[in-house]
Amino acid sequence: MTGLLRPAAVLLALACAVPFDVSTSRAQSPAPQRTFLDRLDMSSPAATLTTLIRTYRRSDYFAVFFLLSPRAKSGFSGTIARYFSLQPLFPKVRGMNLPGAHVGERNGGDESDDALADPAVSFDNIMLAADRAGVLPFTFGPAAQISSIDAGDTTAIAGIATDGEPQRIAVGLRRLTTGDWRIERITWAGSSSVLQPWGVVPHR
């Protein structure tokens, strides 16, 4: 008889329990940072620029790619295709001659295929090759800092004292409909004001 009463007691306890409001609990909890993209702070122009300096300085160019606006992302590969050269993006490079960069290759193996299939992987590969060759278009030293920000509702222009080369760069940003502030264009003395995400028009 006692064995029969135990299930009944459990059911009674469950019926009398205060229900747990799942919707309220979720509303009060902060949104989880599900992917690495969620951990890239792009909540304001200053946040994006700080993230840029941090990730670029540690050679995490895969993360840098996702700080770019859609137009700036496509501009990187578009500039290479337009000029069939890496020189506009990396002024110290001649043509496609950048050891370690899987660009324009065919049948180059799995690593090359992976880079060609994914624009973020390709960007990281080319930037890392430029880093190792000492031909990055700009660098950030340990004392790099944001020197100015002029921001509106959807666009911003900022200055960075790089503690590297060149000493100063300007960064244009745009606020996407997602709320992220992304990088539209980076310029410096003598660079193009048209090419994205940055560039120098080569002399013909």
Q: What integer pLDDT is reported at residue 15 of this predicted model? A: 45
166-194 pLDDT per residue, tens: 999 999 999 999 999 999 999 999 999 99
Q: SS3 helix, strand, coil % of the chain, rounded to 5?
A: 40, 15, 45
In this model, does residue 82 exceed pLDDT 50? yes
Q: Is residue 22 part of a domain?
A: no
Q: Is residue 157 domain-resident?
A: yes
Q: Is residue 198 part of a domain?
A: no
Q: What CATH number does residue 149 fall under?
A: 3.10.450
- Whether residue 112 lies inside any domain: the answer is yes
Question: Rounded to whole angstroms, how far apart are CA atoms 87 and 99?
Answer: 14
Please state the rounded mean pLDDT for residues 63-76. 97
Q: Is residue 17 part of a domain?
A: no
Tens of pLDDT, residue by residue over 9-60, are 444 444 444 444 434 434 455 566 788 788 899 999 999 999 999 999 999 9
* pLDDT tens track for 89-134: 999 999 999 999 987 555 556 665 665 668 999 999 999 999 999 9
Instruction: Give the pTM.
Output: 0.80
Domain boundaries, position 166: 39-187
Number of domains, the chain = 1
Kindly state whether residue 193 falls inside one of the protein's structural domains.
no
SS (H, E, C) 65-101: HCCECHHHHHHHHHHHHHHCCCCCCCCCCCCCCCCCC
pLDDT at 202: 78
